[in-house]
């Protein structure tokens, strides 16, 4: 699992951000999991997502080995299907879900509900009812208004385990839109003005709720361990004040996820081993200073488990010049990957399926949608003879691609294909025009 900051030089033949099983094949093709990517494009069409099952499993194991004694919950918002839920369960991971939809898909696929945590800053009645009905392990309270709703949903004599989400006042993350640990955003309850402490006191007064611990999530694409150390100190400080004021010792501390990965060669990634070492040392030291027993640690990685295991496949439809730029238009775009438009993330696509000896040139890989901002990879290095009909593969496409895909222009969301040991199998089929028609009941 590529944890440490990459030291390679970016280039057209650099595979440092690709799945570990990636191999160069004949005629300029690449194979992942022992399967030709060009062959997958021919078999399943494009656009398509390819997911290396072995890499996903190994990344999950990396967390279990790095954090012995902790509970590791895979963040389903990054990518979820029935097979993914099955892999997570087989590898000993819990599941972090954010809606009744994610919850019901996982449980009906056989995932044990007691190993599921439900999140959400605005849980619907359906979300809460489903969580209580299925018996999820924990519900993370994100606002005081949820307390009464949860109490009303729990049957008389019942008891639901809950955590409380805290905003620890830590700024971290790769973009303003994915920073969630500060006081000025929608998630959690702030420490500085006493809202977190007040909400905890209200929860402790409810006999139908069992407060197991405090939760925080700092943001996404964090590549330094320092924000997590700061969060530990502040969270332990809050837990000590709860002990002093109410005599309640909270047995769990959930530090969320947000662990950054490299999307292009040379970019940094969070070192998971260093994170575990730093968090454990800070937790031991802070608890000793506060005379608190060390709580059980919970973490919720998503992108770092599945992101680098995925590859997106596209076919080039058009190549043209516009001013000083070269545009390579493909058969997908922001409907299957909105992240460049939302956060300005940059990718490193690669020509597959044929070998080119042309000198490289810079080009913008753009999508097919009716938006000027539909750019999948700005200023990408591609062969100078790139042409319609060519195939492009885009690495680090396992997280927040299908889960954020839309029905824009009714092009249909791509399929997901799993590869392992030289075999490929379809996990999620391509969305079809029949799917759109079946939902449209206007006539």
Reading the block at residue 437, the tokens are 């028609």
User: Is residue 62 included in any domain, yes or no?
Assistant: yes
Q: Cα separations (Å) of 215 from 88, 235, 425?
A: 21, 8, 37
Rounded to the nearest angstrom, the gap between the alpha carbon of residue 2 and the centroid of all alpha carbons in its chain is 16
Determine, yes or no, domain membership for 1. Answer: no
* Total number of domains in the chain: 2
**Same domain (yes/no): 302, 335:** no
CA distance 24 to 353: 11
370 flagged as catalytic: yes
Could you tell me which of 245, 195, 263, 184 has the C-alpha nearest to residue 17?
Answer: 263
Residue 8 inside a domain? The answer is no
Domain residues for the domain of 90 are 53-306
Query: Between the CA of residue 171 and those of 186, 187, 227, what are the distances in Å?
Result: 14, 13, 7
Q: Peptide bond preceding 47: is omega within 30 degrees of 0, i.e. cis? A: yes
DSSP state at residue 392:
E
* Dihedral, 277, 280, 283, 284 alpha carbons, nearest 10: -110
Q: Examine residue 67 and state whether it is found in any structural domain, yes or no.
A: yes
Question: Is 66:272 a contact under the CB 8 Å cutoff?
Answer: yes
Nearest Cα neighbor of 69 from 232, 247, 253 is: 253
Instruction: Specify whether 294 is located in the same domain as 348.
Output: no
CATH classification at residue 402: 2.40.37.10
Do residues 249 and 329 both lie within one domain?
no
One-character DSSP codes across 189-228: EESTTSHHHHHHHHHHT-TTEEEEEEE---BSSB--SHHH
As a whole number of angstroms, the distance between CA 33 and CA 358 comes to: 28
d(C-alpha 251, C-alpha 247), whole Å: 13
Cβ(315)–Cβ(42) below 8 Å: no
* 201 and 300 within one domain: yes
**With contact defined as beta carbons under 8 Å apart, do 195 and 232 qualify?**
no
Report the C-alpha gap between 213 and 231 in whole angstroms: 14
The residue out of 271, 306, 341 marking a domain boundary is: 306
For residue 33, being part of any structural domain is answered with: yes
One domain for residues 319 and 187? no
Find the helix packing angle between 226-246 and 272-290, rounded to 10°.
30
**Could you say which residues of the chain have pLDDT below 70?**
1-12, 171-187
Per-residue confidence (pLDDT) for residue 344, from 0 to 100: 86
Q: Which of 81, 98, 216, 370 is catalytic?
A: 370
C-beta separation of 364 from 375 below 8 A = yes
Whether residues 353 and 221 share a domain: the answer is no
Domain boundary residue, one of 288, 306, 324: 306
Residues 178 and 103 in one domain: yes
Residue with tokens 């209580």: 132
Q: Give the residues across from 214 on adjacent strands.
A: 164, 253
Q: How many whole angstroms separate alpha carbon 193 and alpha carbon 100?
A: 32
Any domain includes 235:
yes
- Residues for the chain: how many in total? 443
pLDDT of residue 3: 40
Domain limit, last residue, from 306, 336, 370: 306
Sign of CA dihedral 337, 343, 344, 350: negative
Q: d(Cα 195, Cα 182) in Å, to the nearest integer?
A: 14
In a domain, 133, yes or no: yes
In a domain, 5, yes or no: no
187 and 285 housed in the same domain: yes
Cα within 13 Å of Cα(116), Cβ side = 27
Is 291 found in the same domain as 262? yes
Vertex 305 angle, CA 215 and 49, to 5°: 130
Closest CA to 212 of 252, 160, 170: 252
Please indicate, yes or no, whether residues 302 and 316 belong to a single structural domain of this protein: no
Q: What is the CATH number of the domain that holds 221?
A: 3.20.20.10
Instruction: Specify whether 41 is located in the same domain as 177.
Output: no
- If asked whether residues 197 and 276 sit together in one domain, one would say yes
Contacts of 438 (CB under 8 A, 6+ apart): none
């Amino acid at each position: 699992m590529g944890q440490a900051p990459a030291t390679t030089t970016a280039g057209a033949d650099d595979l440092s951000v690709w799945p570990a099983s990636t191999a160069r094949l004949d005629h300029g093709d690449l194979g992942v999991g022992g399967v030709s990517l060009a062959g997958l494009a021919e078999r399943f069409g494009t656009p398509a997502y390819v997911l290396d099952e072995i890499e996903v499993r190994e990344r999950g194991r990396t967390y279990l080995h790095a954090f012995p004694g902790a509970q590791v919950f895979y963040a389903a918002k990054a990518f979820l299907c029935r097979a993914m839920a099955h892999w997570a369960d087989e590898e000993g991971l819990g599941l972090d879900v954010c809606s009744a939809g994610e919850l019901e898909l996982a449980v009906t696929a056989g995932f044990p509900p007691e190993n599921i945590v439900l999140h959400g800053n605005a849980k619907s009645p359906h979300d809460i009812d489903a969580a209580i009905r299925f018996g999820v392990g924990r519900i993370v309270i994100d606002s005081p208004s949820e307390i009464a709703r949860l109490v009303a949903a729990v049957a008389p004599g019942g008891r639901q385990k809950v955590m409380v989400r805290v905003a620890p006042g830590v700024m971290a993350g790769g973009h303003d839109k994915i920073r969630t640990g500060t006081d000025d955003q929608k998630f959690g309850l702030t420490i500085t003005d006493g809202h977190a402490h007040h909400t905890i006191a209200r929860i402790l007064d409810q006999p139908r709720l069992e407060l197991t611990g405090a939760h925080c999530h700092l943001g996404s694409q964090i590549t330094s361990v320092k924000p997590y150390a700061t969060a530990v100190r502040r969270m332990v400080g809050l837990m000590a004040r709860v002990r002093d004021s109410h005599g309640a010792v909270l047995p769990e501390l959930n530090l969320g996820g947000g662990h950054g990965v490299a999307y292009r060669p040379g970019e940094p990634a969070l070192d998971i081993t260093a994170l575990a070492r730093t968090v454990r040392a800070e937790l031991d030291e802070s608890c000793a200073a506060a005379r608190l027993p060390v709580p059980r640690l919970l973490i919720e990685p998503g992108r770092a488990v599945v992101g680098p295991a995925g590859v997106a496949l596209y076919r080039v439809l058009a190549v043209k010049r516009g001013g000083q730029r070269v545009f390579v238009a493909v058969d997908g775009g922001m409907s299957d990957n909105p992240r460049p438009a939302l956060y300005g993330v940059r990718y490193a696509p690669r020509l597959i399926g044929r070998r080119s000896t042309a000198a490289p040139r810079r080009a913008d890989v753009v999508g097919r949608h009716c938006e000027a901002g539909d750019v999948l990879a700005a200023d990408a290095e591609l062969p100078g003879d790139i042409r319609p009909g060519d195939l492009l593969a885009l690495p680090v496409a396992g997280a927040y691609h299908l889960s954020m895909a839309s029905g824009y222009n009714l092009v249909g969301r791509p399929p997901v294909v799993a590869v392992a040991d030289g075999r490929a199998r379809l996990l999620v089929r391509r969305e079809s025009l029949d799917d759109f028609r079946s939902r449209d009941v206007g006539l």
